[in-house]
Amino acid sequence: MFFVTPAYAEEAPAGTAETGAGTGTDTHAAPAAGDVHTETGVPAEHHGGGVFPPFDSTTYASQLLWLAITFVVFFVLMQKVIAPRIGNILEQRHNRISQDLDEASRLKAEADADVAAYEAELAAARAKSNAIGTAARDAAKLKAEADRKAVEAGLAEKLKAAEGRIADIKAKAFADVGTIAEETATAVVEQLIGTSAKADVAAAVADIKKGA
């Protein structure tokens, strides 16, 4: 704040100056009425109990002027410096948040795609395993059927061969039985009648075989 010093306060009364010079006392020891304090610019008579300067009605004009100047400076500072900086900070944060959201969306889309691909691969693997199992089961059934048929064919051949051998053995046995019966009958006849009747015994054995 600027305070105007009254004109009458700048000039000391002549009587006071002369009195100080004539008496040899200090002129600053007792300020005269109407003197102004040199540091505050307030009349000396109001130094002890005067009005507070901001509440002094005589300084309202200068106070309003400085208030207007301060407001304009602060407004310009806000508009030109502070507001742009705050706007830049907010814009940067908005851009960063937008980038983070975009990145999160991209990562989520990639994760969803990976999950879908994994599920597709898993379904394909299950289908393939089922197909492989079915094919293996069918192949095993076919092989088992073929092996069964081969075993049955082998058994049939062995049975047929065995039946043939049995028939041969039977035929040979029957042939041997006829010979043995013929020889036995011939020996018995010779013992009974004392003569050989081999031809008759052979004919009788042949007739018996035909009847059997």
- Mind listing the pLDDT tens digit for each residue in 152-175? 888 888 888 888 888 888 777 766
Residue 187 in domain: yes
* Residue whose entry in the numeric block shows the structure tokens 């009349």: 43
Q: Which domain holds residue 178?
A: 162-211
Start-end of H helices in the chain:
7-10, 14-23, 60-77, 83-193, 198-211
For CA atoms 107, 113, 116, 121, the dihedral sign is negative
Residue 181 in domain: yes
For residue 199, the model assigns a pLDDT of 67
pLDDT tier for residue 198 given thresholds of 50, 70 and 90: low
Residue 139 in domain: no
Please count the structural domains in the chain.
1
Residue 38 in domain: no
Residue 177 in domain: yes
Distances (CA, A) of 158 to 4, 146, 162, 165: 147, 18, 6, 10
- Let me know how long the chain is: 212
**Contact assessment for residue 181 and residue 192, using Cβ atoms and an 8 Å cutoff:** no
Q: Is pLDDT above 80 for 77?
A: yes
Report the predicted TM-score, pTM, of the whole model to 2 decimal places. 0.35
Residue partners of 4: CB distance under 8 A and separation at least 6:
41
Residue 120 in domain: no
Residue 185 in domain: yes
